[in-house]
Chain A
Amino acid sequence: MTIDWSWIGDHTDDLTTLTVSHLQAALSAVFFGLLISLPLAVVAHRVRPLRGFLLGLSNVLFTIPSIAIFVLLLPVSGLTRTTTVIGLTVYTLVVLLRNTVEGLDSVPVKTKEAAKAMGTRPFRTLLTVELPLALPVIMAGVRIATVMSISLVSVATYIGDGGLGQLFTDGFQRDFPTPVIAGVVLTLLLAVVADALLVAVQYVLTPWTRRRA
C-alpha cells in the first residue's frame, strides 16, 4: 500500500476545505454540548432525584451507535450539516454532562458554606465559586468531548457529510489508499492540536492548579 504523493499535492485545496468543514462540525457540537450540559449539570447537581435520571439517561444514549443516531435524525433534519451537528451533540452532551456534574461535586462543601455565610446568593455562588472550582474537571471533559467529536465527524460520511470522512468512502469505493491515509492523518492532527490548545487554555484559566515553583 503506497501513498500517491502527487495526489496529495494536487488536492491540497480539497483537503483544506474538508479539514475546515470537519473542524466546524466538531466545534459546533462541543459548543452546543456545553450550552445544554451546563444548565442540565447544575440541575442534576442540585436536584437529587433528577441526578440519577439524567446521568442514567446519558449513559444509555452513549451506548447507541453513532451511525444509528445520524440515520435516525434524517427524517428530522434531512441530509444537512444540521443532522451531523445534532448527532454529534448527543455525544458531547453526555461527556460534558458527566464531567460537569463530577466537577461540581468536587467543590468542597465548606467553601460553598463559607460563601453562603458571607451572604452570597445561590446563583452568584454558582457563578463565582462553584464553576471556577469545577473548571479543571469540566475542562477535562471539554478535552475528551472535543477529541471524541473530531473522531466521530467522519461517521457522518454515511449520510453524505463527514468532513474528512468523505476521503474514507472515496478511497474505499475506488480501492485507493491515499485519500484514506490523508484523512486519518489529518483527523489525528486536528485532534492533537485541539487537545494541546485546550490544555493551554486550561492552564491559563486555572492558575491555582499550577504547581508552585
Chain B
Amino acid sequence: MYELFKDLGSWLTSGDQWSGYDGIAHRLAEHLQYSLLATLIAMAIGLPLGLLIGHTGRGAFVAINLASFGRALPTVGLVVLVFLASGLSMWPVYIALVALAVPSIVTNTYAGMTAVDPDVKDAARGQGMRWHQVLFQVELPLALPLIMTGLRLALIQVVATATIAAYVSFGGLGRYVFDGLAQRDLVQVMGGAVLVAVVAIALDLALSGVQRFLFRHRPA
C-alpha cells in the first residue's frame, strides 16, 4: 500500500512524466481546454434560457426538472451514440459535456432569478423600466451570486467528467485512467484521478474566492 503511494509520488513529480505528448503538462492542457470550452458553450445556451424562464416565469417546470434529467443522462451512452453518428471527432465529447453542464446552469440561474425580491421588480417597472432594463439592470445583478454559483458548479462537474474524452480516443487526464486500466498500471490510474481532483478543487476554491470578493459588500 505504502509502495503504491510512493510510486504515485514519483510519477507525479518525475520530469519525464511531465514532458512530451503523453506528459502531464499536455494532458492537463487538453483537459482544461475541453472543460473550459464546454462550459462556455453551456453558458451560452444555459444562461439565456435560465434568465428568460426566470424573468417570464414560464417554463418553470422545465427549469426545475432539467437538473434531474441532466443528472440521469448516462454520459457513456451519450458519448457512444454521438460517436456512432459522427465518427472520430470531438463532437461526442463536447455534446456530452455541454449536456451535463446546461441543466445545472439553467436551474441555478432560474433559482437566482426567483430569489430576487418581487417588490424590487415591481418598483423598477413602476419607474417605467422596460422588460430588458428590468432584466439586465435589476434582476441580473441581484441574481448574480446564485448564477455564479451555478457556473462554478457546472465547471467543476465538467472537469470531473471530461475524463470521458478518453473513451473515444482523445486526450485529457482521462487518458491516464483508461490507459492505466488497459495496462493494469494502478499508479497511472491514481495519477489521473488525483490530477483531476486537484484541478477541480483548485478551480472551485479559486472561483469561490472570486465570488466572495465580487459580492463582499452584499448582505449575507
A and B touch in the complex (CB under 8 A): yes
Partner-B contacts on A (CB < 8 A): 1, 59-60, 62-65, 67-69, 71-72, 75, 143-144, 147-148, 150-151, 154-155, 157-159, 164-165, 167-169, 171-172, 175-177, 180-181, 183-184, 187-188, 191-192, 195
User: What is the minimal beta-carbon distance from A16 to any residue of chain B, in angstroms?
Assistant: 18
When chains A and B are docked, how far (Å) is the Cα of A39 from the Cα of B177? Answer: 33
* Contact of A69 with B193 in the complex, beta carbons under 8 Å: yes
Chain B residues 169-194 with CB under 8 Å of chain A are 174, 177-178, 180-181, 186, 189-190, 192-193
**Is B200's CB within 8 Å of the partner chain A?**
yes
* Contact of B177 with A67 in the complex, beta carbons under 8 Å: yes
Q: Which of B68, B71, B74, B83 has the most CB of A within 10 A?
A: B74
User: What is the minimal beta-carbon distance from B207 to any residue of chain A, in angstroms?
Assistant: 14
* Contact of A75 with B186 in the complex, beta carbons under 8 Å: yes
**Which of A154, A158, A159 makes the CB contact (< 8 A) with B77?**
A154
When chains A and B are docked, how far (Å) is the Cα of A131 from the Cα of B122? Answer: 40
* Contact of A68 with B74 in the complex, beta carbons under 8 Å: no
* Contact of B72 with A187 in the complex, beta carbons under 8 Å: yes
**Is B81's CB within 8 Å of the partner chain A?**
yes
Chain A residue at minimum C-beta to C-beta distance from B168: A172
User: What is the minimal beta-carbon distance from B134 to any residue of chain A, in angstroms?
Assistant: 29
* Contact of A71 with B177 in the complex, beta carbons under 8 Å: yes
Query: A1-B85, A65-B163, A67-B163 given. 7 additional CB < 8 A pairs?
Result: A63-B197, A64-B197, A71-B186, A147-B72, A151-B74, A159-B181, A175-B84
* Contact of A157 with B76 in the complex, beta carbons under 8 Å: yes
- On whether A67 and B84 interact (CB within 8 A), knowing A72-B189, A151-B75, the answer reads no
When chains A and B are docked, how far (Å) is the Cα of A65 from the Cα of B192? Answer: 9
User: What is the minimal beta-carbon distance from A131 to any residue of chain B, in angstroms?
Assistant: 24
Chain A residue at minimum C-beta to C-beta distance from B83: A172
**Chain A residues whose CB sits within 8 angstroms of the CB of B190 once the complex forms:** 68, 72
Chain A residue at minimum C-beta to C-beta distance from B198: A63
* Contact of B71 with A151 in the complex, beta carbons under 8 Å: yes
Q: Which of B77, B84, B85, B197 has the most CB of A within 10 A?
A: B77
* Contact of A67 with B78 in the complex, beta carbons under 8 Å: no
User: What is the minimal beta-carbon distance from B28 to any residue of chain A, in angstroms?
Assistant: 14
**Chain B residues whose CB sits within 8 angstroms of the CB of A151 once the complex forms:** 71-75
When chains A and B are docked, how far (Å) is the Cα of A154 from the Cα of B190? Answer: 21
Q: Which of B71, B75, B163, B189 has the most CB of A within 10 A?
A: B71
* Contact of B181 with A71 in the complex, beta carbons under 8 Å: yes
* Contact of A65 with B72 in the complex, beta carbons under 8 Å: no
- Cβ-closest 4 pairs across A and B: A191-B72, A68-B193, A63-B200, A184-B77
- On whether A183 and B74 interact (CB within 8 A), knowing A65-B160, A177-B81, the answer reads yes
